[in-house]
Structure 1
Amino acid sequence: GPCTECSCSSGKEPDKDPGHTKKKDNGECLCVPKIFFGTRTHKQISQITRELKRTAYSCVPMTILSSRDYTCIHPVVSNSSNRNEMCVELLEGKHGKSCSYYHSVHKLSEHHALQSAPQAWDIEDLVSLGRKLRACAYFAARELMVGADIVFCPYNYLLDPQIRESMDIHLKDQVVILDEAHNIEDCARESVSYGVTESQLRAAREELEFMVTNNIRQKHHEPLQAVCCSLI
């Protein structure tokens, strides 16, 4: 049956404490770790949440972290090829516009269907409810992480330090589960890889040639110039 430490036990409300601490009978604080469950694809998260619904832990407070590609419902931003940049511009109020969906995020993150859900939910459920409430599913999922006992996300959210920082993910003293971990090498390689076009390489080579020719930190730029020349 359900355990006695996390919120799956009958009658317990989801923990709102960012530190995720609970008190023992003797008054001492007990730090209850979150479970970060990483998968390779969002489709696998859907499969896992379906299985979670069939267990005694279906009512455990949870959230699913994903990109704006899956959760943005803004009619303009969601149809853009650069959702991240457009979203940031709206949040910063550039061009005198803002995002009404973001300002209504509390309607979704505090909705009873998610806070006291009788069973696990999926990204599609979150987005569908967000459309109904006209509230941002992307930021609601992030807010739900505060009180969640289990957080589902793709591998790179756990492996990439920049994504961890931007998503406010702290793994110290937490439980990390990697589904199909034999794929982790490829994901780790992708997280530290960067792609450039031939035109970018040519532009870099020209700039480096200028630096070397004009004796501007020549010792540092010559090796980089050699690398660029070897690639094109």
Structure 2
Amino acid sequence: MCDLKRTLDKGGHCVLEMPSGTGKTVSLLSLIVAYQQYYPEHRKLIYCSRTMSEIEKALAELKALMKYRADQLGKVEEFRGLGLTSRKNLCLHPSVKREKSGAVVDARCRSLTAGFVKEKKERGEDVDVCIYHDNLDLLEPHALVPPGVFTLDGLLKYGEQHKQCPYFSARRMMGHCNVIIYSYHYLLDPKIAERVSKELSKDCIVVFDEAHNIDNVCIESLEY
């Protein structure tokens, strides 16, 4: 961890290797979150992992960490941590979420949420829209979700409770979060990064967890 601290101080790069089960994720999160809170100018961590289950596990670790910090400090810090995954995993629309194909979910979602659909609705045309997406426009852009750490399951439950889209809530809140946890592809694949990650600051702290296949991810992303 001393090497990682020196890397953060210098704004450089670091490779860490730890055996499975030794607490790698919570160790990384503990140090980097503490670093963020001590140095306010370093306020955003992008934490990349491979699978949805690993993303959810990292979010759960972060949630437990922030609870521990609150218990030890005697206060709840101003902090937001969110995860992002595909529309298929975060959709609440009654018929769209029943689709089995992620590509179909994406296409149907766009047909209900695209700008031209909203324009047609405003002109009084009879078009289908997604109420969960439209409800986001009624809220302050920086406060779609309250401070705290939301697992993917927690974000879904919050969206159901408040009738707002979890997927677009997470995407629109990325610029206002301290920690964002998502798949490698959201940062490494040029096509996806252009849509999802283009608004993120270039001086973010970036962690690639479970990075033993990251070379293949990069090669695959650049092949198309």
TM-score by length of 1: 0.63
- Rounded Cα–Cα distance in structure 1 between residues aligned with 2:165 and 2:50: 24
| Equivalent position SS for 2:129 | coil
> Is residue 121 of structure 2 the alignment partner of residue 99 of structure 1?
no
Aligned to 2:13: none
Q: Which residue of 2 aligns with 1:110?
A: 143
167, 178, 191: which one aligns with 2:196: 167
Pick from 19, 34, 43 the counterpart of residue 53 of structure 2: 43
CA distance in 2, matches of 1:116, 1:77: 29
Amino acid at match of 1:89: S
Contact 2:49–2:182 under 8 Å retained in 1: yes
Runs of 4+ in 1 over 4 A off after TM superposition: 1-5, 56-59, 106-109
Amino acid at match of 1:146: G
**CA deviation after TM superposition for structure 1 residue 5, in Å:** 5.2
Q: Which amino acid aligns with 2:135?
A: S
Asked whether the 8 Å contact 2:59–2:82 carries over to 1, the reply is no
- Name the SS of the counterpart of 2:218 in structure 1: helix
Higher helix share: 2
What is the count of residue pairs matched by the alignment? 169
Identity of aligned residues (%): 28
Structure 2: gaps (5+ residues): 1-29, 71-76, 121-125
User: 1:49 deviation in Å?
Assistant: 1.8
List per-residue Cα deviations over 1:107-133 (Å, max 9, x = no partner): 69736xx4233xx32100101121122
Equivalents in 1 of 2:64, 2:203: separation in Å?
28
- The match for 2:91 is 72
Q: What is the CA RMSD across the aligned residues, in angstroms?
A: 2.9
Is the aligned partner of 1:130 residue 2:159?
Answer: yes
The structure 2 residue matched to 1:54, chosen from 61, 64, 69, is 64
**Alpha-carbon deviation of 1:167?**
0.8
Task: Give 3-state SS (helix, strand or coil) of 2:169's partner.
Answer: helix
Label 1:47 to 1:4 Cα distance change in 2 as closer, same or farther (>3 A). Answer: closer
Could you tell me how far apart the structure 1 residues matched to 2:89 and 2:219 are? 23
Question: Match of 2:133, as an amino acid?
Answer: Y
Residue 7 of structure 2 corresponds to which residue in structure 1?
A: none
User: What residue ranges of structure 1 are gaps of 5+ in the alignment?
Assistant: 10-20, 23-30, 195-232
Residue 190 of structure 1, CA deviation: 2.9
User: What is the alpha-carbon distance in structure 1 between the residues aligned to residue 86 and residue 193 of structure 2?
Assistant: 13
